[in-house]
């Protein structure tokens, strides 16, 4: 006898992020990050939290560049490779590229890390010094140890201010010229960001990735403008994973009590790998009706096959999975359906669609006049924190019930 119900055929599990939805707040290199996530099976909500001011149109960068050409600095700190390259290219476009390079050749040129060193050398320059740690704190320590009183120091920024760095130099007596490469502005189309905020508040997204501190701050600022700060923070503190490329990026979230995950290496690839580890590790795995059922964000893995589930059905499934093997009443299930009102018929409709989506009979059993239950198999469950028997969490009914189809 065929063991499947009529319904959509199962999809193969494309990767570790299959069945999960990830929000991407990046503007720069967003395409690269999105491609990495999709390659591993994720559904992506792209909602740029910021936009980059085109360098050719940036009057502040032009003014700072002309100031440095007109009055040579004693030292220049280059913080990012893309920022340094963009600065040189913008100067070329304004017709002052050679003048800028001449000034940089005659000054002490400090590179934050190996990527910045590569950009400096590609421009025909040679750095004076670079820390092995890629730490700006080490650059600051070197400058302060050598004495900065009366020195003119230029700091190439990349979209975000470095107030502690600048203030320490000025406190030491230096004149600091900030070179604002790639300034961030609010996105021109705020709609995608608003939709992501709504999804976070509703728990309709599994994770949000952040690749810059300004993007994280901008997302929270927009939530404040809309008056939804607490629902958004509550979502990020509970079910929605906040994945940040590094500790600086995480700061705007962590000051609000949001726990974040970060890769050991502050790069996009390792950031995606963290998501590939964390999200499947959070999935609930249950042996149900002779099958392995793994509950993911918007789908389930049933015996390693991906089966998309409608949002209402997923809400019911999560409620049932909280007490696997125990009866859950229709009234409780009804409360899990958004906008369902008081009609318990909505539960029956959503349950029927859930069963079709799963495609395998008897995974969810009907208990006459009482409700529904997951047909939990006897024995251990394969997954962290999963129950070993229906006694895992006693339901209000106080005991398991016999079930019938």
Mean pLDDT confidence for 255-275? 92
Is residue 18 a part of any domain in this protein? yes
Residue 393 and residue 384: Cα distance in Å, rounded?
A: 15
- Which of 184, 205, 221 marks a domain boundary? 184
Let me know whether 26 and 110 are in one domain. no
Write the CA distances from 251 to 14, 22, 51, 143, 375, integer angstroms.
33, 20, 20, 25, 44
Domain boundary among 281, 314, 345: 281
173 and 59 belong to one structural domain: yes
pTM over 0.75, yes/no: no
We report the CATH number of the domain holding residue 276 as 3.40.50.10090
65 and 168 part of one domain: yes
Same domain, 329 and 380: yes
Residue with more model confidence, 47 or 188: 47
If asked whether residues 203 and 303 sit together in one domain, one would say no
Chain centroid offset of residue 108 CA = 38
Asked if the structure places residue 322 within a domain, the reply is yes
The three-state secondary structure class of 290 is coil
- The pLDDT value recorded for residue 54 is 65
**Between 134 and 401, the higher pLDDT residue:** 134
The H-assigned helical ranges of 1-158 are 30-39, 59-70, 81-93, 97-105, 114-122, 136-146
CATH number of the domain residue 329 falls in? 1.10.10.10
Which residue from 53, 91, 84 is spatially nearest to 69, judged by alpha carbons? 91
Residue 403 has pLDDT above 90, yes or no: no
pLDDT at 394: 36
Are 172 and 60 in the same domain? yes
pLDDT, tens digit, 9 for 90 and up, residues 350-386: 999 999 999 888 899 998 888 999 888 865 444 444 4
- Asked whether residue 385 falls in the same domain as residue 329, the answer is yes
Within a domain: residue 3? no
The pLDDT assigned to 23 comes to: 97
Please tell me whether residues 191 and 43 are part of one structural domain: yes
Answer yes or no: do 201 and 247 share one domain. Answer: yes
Asked if pLDDT for residue 161 goes beyond 70, the answer is: no
- Calculate the alpha carbon distances from 310 to 270, 284, 356, 358 in Å: 31, 18, 10, 10
pLDDT, tens digit (0-9, with 9 covering 90-100), for 276-317 = 999 999 988 999 988 999 999 999 988 888 999 999 999 999
Q: pLDDT averaged over the chain?
A: 86
Q: Show the domain range for 198.
A: 11-49+187-281
Structural domain count, the chain:
3
Shared domain for 62 and 161, answered yes or no, is yes
Please state the rounded mean pLDDT for residues 228-244: 96
Structural domain includes residue 397: no
pLDDT digits (tens, 9 = 90+) for 169-192: 999 999 999 998 877 788 989 999
For residues 81 and 120, membership in a common domain is answered with yes
The pLDDT assigned to 265 comes to 81
Q: What does the buried/exposed string (b/e) look like for 316-348 if buried means 16 or more CB atoms within 10 Å of the residue's CB?
A: bbebbbbbbbbbbbbebbbebbeebeeebebbe
Residues 6+ apart with CB under 8 A from 137: none
Confidence of residue 11 (pLDDT cuts 50, 70, 90): low
Check whether residue 24 and residue 34 sit in a common domain: yes
Which of 155, 184, 213 is where one domain is finished? 184
Tell me what pLDDT residue 246 has: 87
- Average pLDDT value for residue range 116-140: 91
């Amino acid at each position: 006898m065929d063991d499947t119900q009529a319904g959509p055929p199962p999809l193969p599990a494309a990767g570790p992020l299959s069945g999960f939805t990830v929000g991407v707040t990046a503007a720069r290199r967003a395409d690269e990050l999105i491609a990495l996530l999709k390659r591993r099976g994720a559904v992506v909500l792209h909602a740029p939290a910021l936009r980059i001011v085109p360098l050719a149109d940036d009057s502040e960068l032009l003014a700072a560049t002309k100031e440095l050409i007109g009055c040579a600095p004693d030292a220049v700190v280059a913080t990012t490779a893309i920022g340094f390259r963009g600065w040189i290219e913008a100067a070329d476009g304004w017709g002052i590229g050679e003048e800028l390079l001449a000034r940089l050749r005659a000054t002490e040129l400090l590179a934050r890390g190996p990527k910045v060193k590569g950009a400096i050398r590609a421009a025909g320059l040679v750095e004076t010094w670079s820390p092995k740690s890629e730490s700006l704190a080490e650059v600051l320590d070197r400058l302060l140890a050598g004495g900065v009183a009366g020195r003119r120091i230029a700091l190439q920024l990349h979209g975000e201010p470095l107030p502690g760095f600048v203030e320490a130099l000025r406190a030491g007596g230096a004149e600091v010229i900030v070179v604002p490469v790639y300034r961030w502005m609010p996105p021109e189309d705020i709609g995608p960001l608003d939709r992501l905020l709504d999804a976070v508040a509703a728990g309709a997204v599994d994770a949000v990735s952040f690749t810059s501190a300004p993007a994280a701050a901008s997302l929270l600022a927009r939530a404040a403008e809309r008056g939804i700060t607490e629902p958004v923070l509550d979502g990020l503190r509970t079910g929605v994973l906040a994945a940040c490329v590094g500790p600086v990026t995480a700061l705007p979230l962590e000051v609000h009590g949001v726990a974040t995950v970060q890769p050991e290496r502050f790069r996009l690839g390792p950031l995606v790998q963290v998501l590939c580890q964390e999200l499947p590790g959070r999935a609930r795995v249950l042996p149900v009706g002779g099958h392995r059922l793994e509950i993911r964000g918007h789908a389930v893995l049933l015996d390693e096959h991906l089966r998309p589930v409608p949002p209402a059905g997923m809400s019911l499934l999560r409620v049932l999975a909280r007490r696997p093997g125990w009866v859950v009443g229709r009234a409780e299930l009804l409360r899990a359906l958004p906008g369902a009102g008081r009609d318990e018929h909505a539960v029956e409709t959503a349950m029927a669609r859930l069963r079709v989506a799963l495609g395998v009979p008897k995974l969810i059993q009907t208990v006459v006049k009482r409700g529904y239950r997951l047909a939990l198999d006897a024995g251990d469950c394969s997954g962290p924190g999963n129950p070993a028997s229906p006694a895992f969490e006693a339901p209000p009914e106080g005991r398991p019930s016999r079930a019938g189809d």
